Amino acid sequence: MEEVNVTVKINGKERSAKVEPRMLLTHFIRDGLSLTGTHIGCDTSQCGSCSVMVDGHVVKSCTLLAVQVDGSEIITVEGLGTVENLHPMQKAFWEEHGLQCGYCTPGVMMAAIGLLQENPEPSDEEIREGLEGVICRCTGYQFIVSAVKHAAKLMAAENQVVGEGR
């Protein structure tokens, strides 16, 4: 299959790669650009593990082709914060124990950032509804809800998405 060139600005850096036109964005990010924090859980756009931010909107990267995002700006979990300097969402998930195996977590945090962009002070119920697009098998969601609530407070203070990640 003939390959095409895709260029994106990902986590603040411009990156290009040649891909098959049918390649999913999620594989482009993981295999093409070696940013493996974004995960694949379902292949059918149910689980949200693959959520990333494209041009300011949270999308499931398994539902887009890499070629569709040519020229876009993408933020993945690696673009949030670092171990030394966690993004408020990451900090909140750590403090509230919002993860167990951590597999769904990058996508869940992205979905939560999208949620807070639209509704910076959500109630528990609004958070639970806002997480409709994600599945976590480990946590039972309770601590994810607490984490998002906590993050809302922390983020109100900072109001920025990209940290100083990779």
Query: Contact positions toward another protein, by CB under 8 A?
Result: 20, 22-23, 27, 30-31, 34-44, 46-47, 49, 76-78, 80-83, 86, 90, 93-95, 97, 99-106, 109, 124-125, 127-129, 131-132, 134-145, 165-166
DSSP state of 4: E
Of 59 and 149, the one with the shorter C-beta distance to another protein is 149
Of 71 and 79, the one with the shorter C-beta distance to another protein is 79
CB of 166 to another protein, least distance (A): 8
Q: How far apart are CA 159 and CA 75, in angstroms?
A: 15
CB of 24 to ligand FES, least distance (A): 9
Q: How far apart are CA 94 and CA 97, in angstroms?
A: 5
Residue numbers of the site for ligand FES (CB under 6 A)?
40-42, 45-50, 60, 62, 99-105, 136-139
Partners of 57 in beta bridges = 54
CB of 1 to another protein, least distance (A): 9
156 interacts with, out of ligand FES, another protein, none, CB within 5 to 8 A per kind: none
3-state secondary structure of 73: strand
Of 10 and 52, the one with the shorter C-beta distance to ligand FES is 52
Tokens of 23: 């390649």
| DSSP string for residues in 109-148 | HHHHHHHHHH-SS--HHHHHHHTTT---SSS-SHHHHHHH
Tokens of 48: 């949200």
